[in-house]
Structure 1
Amino acid sequence: MLKQSIVALALGSSALIAGPALADHLNISTDGIEVDGDTVTIPSVLIDEPGFVVIHEVLDGQPVVPASIGHAYVEGGTTDSVEITTEYPLEDGADYIAMLHYDTDGDGEYSFGEGMTDVDTPALNAEDAPYVQPFTAGGSMM
């Protein structure tokens, strides 16, 4: 359901979110994702240049953007066991998305957010939409 909502949002407007598409330069492996309170461990992340894995809430079936609840810096290439600390413990059974962003200003600090959407912008998939992977806390990929 969340994937359909994200895809519909992207196709129906000029929104910043879309469902995951095949991209050989981006990947977030959510199979085996671990959530322990306010810590999310993603098994593997692939990004073609330095950037961030960002966690967004999902409310009423829609991702909450540009606000995020946690992020972690990753170097370009494949990074295993990416640990992200969130602002609060994730709720079992609640839906979230993991999204990739590039470190566009090269400072290693995540700056994308409300009023600041021109830096550290989302990494785009093969469909020129932000690369995201939905997941359920205490569960698996949706």
Structure 2
Amino acid sequence: MVPLDHKDILFLAHQRHELYLKLLDCSTRQLSLMAGREGNDFPSLFECEAKEWNQITKEIEYIQEQMNLIDPEKSSASDSLLDLMKMIEQKVEAVQHSLSESAADTGADLRSVKNQRKVMNAYYRLDQNDQIPLYFDHKK
């Protein structure tokens, strides 16, 4: 194995920084998707973004491992990288908050539908499938 030098660490650090920029962009797209999640294609779009997120984080982990092998002291994050990480964290927290709100809204909608179904069954006996309703017109 060829020993790696200072240039290699700088190159890996630059790659890591670029990947964190991609991660920030990905989190921004996820947040904008959450803002307009009304469409039918939302789940597939969000899944694509999640897959991209996972791929980028795997690449970051690999680069970090390589940097730790070369020189653990020089592999620590710079101030600009820490600022970038904080911005990513804020976006991820906003996405998580939006997801939890969406789940709560969906739960409330499901409870409402369940209650409406109970009312319909109570008044119109829709839950009985063995009877066929017959209507008589008494005017004729």
TM-score (norm 2): 0.22
Greater share of strand: 1
- Find the structure with the greater CA-based Rg: 2
Larger helix proportion, structure 1 or 2?
Answer: 2
- Give the TM-score of the pair, scaled to structure 1: 0.22
